[in-house]
């Protein structure tokens, strides 16, 4: 199958959507499909052969974060040429209502279109206001995917219609097989904690983690917090208690291999995010690496952790509760081992071998159209029995329930 994938966010700065697009394309390429990715990127950004750049992007604040987008007539022409050359059987657009190449590709599309929605923002006035203008273009979309139930509710609230929930994917084996780095491993007297995320974004929760650490250091004076991600390190240190700043090591940007090694080394991974999360891919990466997870009780995180059974959860934006959970996990080797085992098994649900098959089911549904899909008397979508991928996806039997 010839697959065109559009990523609205720049490949200059790592992010969940970019990683999702990259890994999905590489999985399909490994299966013998043709996959081409279109995304913004600076001229000097190293890109895989399957990624084509539409040029430099500009930063735009949205949903508590900063998205790097690309728009305009020159970009529109580049999108059109890519579509003409690609002759794709299916066009897969991520975040199709984003004012970037995603929307430009949707406007230009004239074949089967699948859209994946990543954003969770039930109060978005911008989406509500834009819907009347976008409605004709949205009708081009034949198959809708949401990466979580929260993202699906955002779609149904603001755009109407529905979407099938297919979560983000992770190469579980890559993380499970990563060798620990002795420099990042802890001891009973000096445990290590990991945090991954942009340190300048309050919603990633580093200030919450920092506020929880004095109580942890009181019982574990040698504890270290390993922070991986971009941002202003000096500004972050200045906001911390001096003892916490001394116990915090800022690693900067890390490679995929370094991230896997980090997660396989630490005594716990901490996800203190305060909001705006529709999934939680880093939780799955940590579980894949065998790290016990301590996470805020955001709805998206609760679902990833199987109702909270596969990780320790604390009340969102409550440093005192985070301290209690960290002390409980760090003080009990048996609990860490239990959470590590549960997390490792849970992570298999999100492996690309599972997730990509579900995405391919949607591709096959939109490319085969009515030959494979029928409505039952109640109006619910049902697949032809011969279309086994789509049938299993609709029934949810492959995951054994909602994720």
3-class DSSP string for the chain: CEEEEECCCCCCCCCHHHHHHHHHHHHHHHCCCEEEEEECCCCCCCCCCCEEECCCCEEEEECCEEEEECCCHHHHHHHHHHHHHHCCCEEEEECCCCCCHHHHHHHHCCCCEEEEECCCCCCCHHHHHHHHHHHHHHCCEEEEEECCHHHHHHHHHHCCCCCEECCCCECHHHHHCCCCCHHHCCCCCCCEEEEECCCCCHHHCHHHHHHHHHHHHHHCCCCEEEEECCCCHHHHHHCCCHHHHHCEEEEECCCHHHHHHHHHHCCEEEECCCCCCCCCHHHHHHHHCCCCEEEECCHHHHHHCCCCCCCEEECCCCHHHHHHHHHHHHCCHHHHHHHHHHHHHHHHHHEHHHHHHHHHHHHHHHHHHHHCEEECCCCCEEECCCCHHHHHHHHCCCCCCCC
Taking Cα atoms as reference points, which of 209, 206, 207, 196 lies closest to residue 253?
A: 196
Q: Residue 126's pLDDT is what?
A: 52
Structure tokens at 64: 């508590």
Residues 348-378 have pLDDT tens digits of: 999 999 999 999 999 999 998 644 444 444 4
pLDDT tens digit string along 139-151?
899 999 999 888 8
Question: For residue 156, which phi and psi values (nearest 5 degrees)?
Answer: -65, -30
Enter the pTM of the model: 0.82
Distance CA 264, CA 181 (A): 8
Structure tokens belonging to residue 285: 């990466």
**Angle, nearest 10°, between helix axes 206-219 and 319-330?**
50
The span from the CA of 31 to the CA of 206, in Å, is 39
CB atoms within 10 A of CB 123: 9
Per-residue pLDDT of the chain (403 residues; tens, 9 = 90+): 999 999 998 888 778 899 999 999 999 999 999 999 999 998 888 999 999 999 887 666 655 555 556 667 888 899 999 999 999 999 999 999 888 899 899 999 999 999 999 887 655 555 555 556 677 788 899 999 999 888 898 888 877 788 999 999 999 999 999 999 999 999 999 999 999 999 999 999 999 999 999 999 999 999 999 999 999 999 999 999 999 999 999 999 999 999 999 999 999 999 999 988 888 899 999 999 999 999 999 999 999 999 999 999 999 999 999 999 999 999 999 999 999 999 999 999 999 999 999 999 999 999 986 444 444 444 334 445 444 455 555 545 444 444 4
300-335 pLDDT, tens per residue? 999 999 999 999 999 999 999 999 999 999 999 999
- Identify the structural domains of the chain with CATH numbers, from first to last: 2-169 (3.40.50.2000), 173-349 (3.40.50.2000)
Torsion on CA atoms 374, 378, 380, 384, rounded to nearest 10:
-30
Question: 213: closest CA among 221, 267, 293, 275?
Answer: 221
């Amino acid at each position: 199958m010839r697959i065109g994938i559009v990523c609205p966010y720049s490949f200059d700065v790592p992010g969940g959507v970019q990683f999702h697009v990259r890994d999905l394309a590489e999985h399909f390429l490994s299966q013998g499909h043709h996959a081409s990715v279109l995304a913004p990127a600076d001229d000097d950004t190293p890109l895989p052969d399957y990624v084509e750049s539409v040029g430099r992007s500009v930063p735009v604040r949205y949903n508590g974060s900063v998205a790097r987008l690309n728009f305009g007539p020159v970009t529109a022409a580049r999108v059109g040429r890519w579509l003409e050359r690609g002759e794709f059987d299916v066009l897969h657009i991520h975040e199709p209502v984003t004012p970037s190449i995603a929307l430009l590709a949707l406007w230009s599309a004239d074949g089967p279109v699948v859209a994946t929605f990543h954003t969770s923002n039930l109060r978005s006035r911008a989406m509500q206001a834009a819907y009347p203008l976008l409605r004709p273009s949205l009708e081009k979309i034949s198959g809708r995917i949401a990466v979580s139930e929260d993202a699906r509710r955002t779609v149904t609230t603001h755009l109407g219609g529905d979407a099938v929930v297919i979560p983000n994917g992770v190469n579980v084996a890559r993380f499970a097989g990563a060798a620990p780095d002795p420099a990042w491993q802890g001891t009973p007297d000096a445990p290590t904690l990991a945090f991954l995320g942009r340190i300048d974004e309050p919603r990633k929760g580093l200030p919450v983690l920092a506020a929880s650490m004095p109580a942890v250091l009181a019982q574990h004076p040698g504890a270290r917090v390993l922070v991986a991600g971009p941002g202003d390190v000096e500004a972050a240190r200045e906001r911390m208690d001096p003892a916490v700043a001394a116990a915090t090591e800022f690693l900067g940007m890390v490679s995929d291999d370094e991230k896997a090694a980090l997660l396989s080394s630490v005594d716990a991974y901490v996800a203190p995010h305060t909001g705006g999360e529709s999934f939680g891919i880093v939780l799955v990466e940590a579980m894949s690496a065998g790290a016990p997870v301590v996470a805020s009780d955001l709805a998206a995180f609760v679902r990833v952790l199987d109702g909270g059974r596969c990780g320790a959860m604390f009340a969102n934006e409550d440093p005192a509760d985070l301290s209690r959970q960290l002390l409980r996990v760090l003080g009990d080797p048996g609990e860490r081992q239990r959470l590590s085992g549960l997390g490792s098994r849970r992570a298999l649900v999100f492996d690309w071998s599972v997730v990509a098959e579900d995405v391919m089911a949607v591709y096959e549904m939109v490319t085969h159209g009515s030959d494979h899909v029928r409505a039952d008397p109640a109006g619910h979508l049902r697949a032809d029995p011969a279309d086994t991928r789509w049938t299993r996806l609709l029934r949810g039997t492959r995951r054994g329930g909602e994720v």
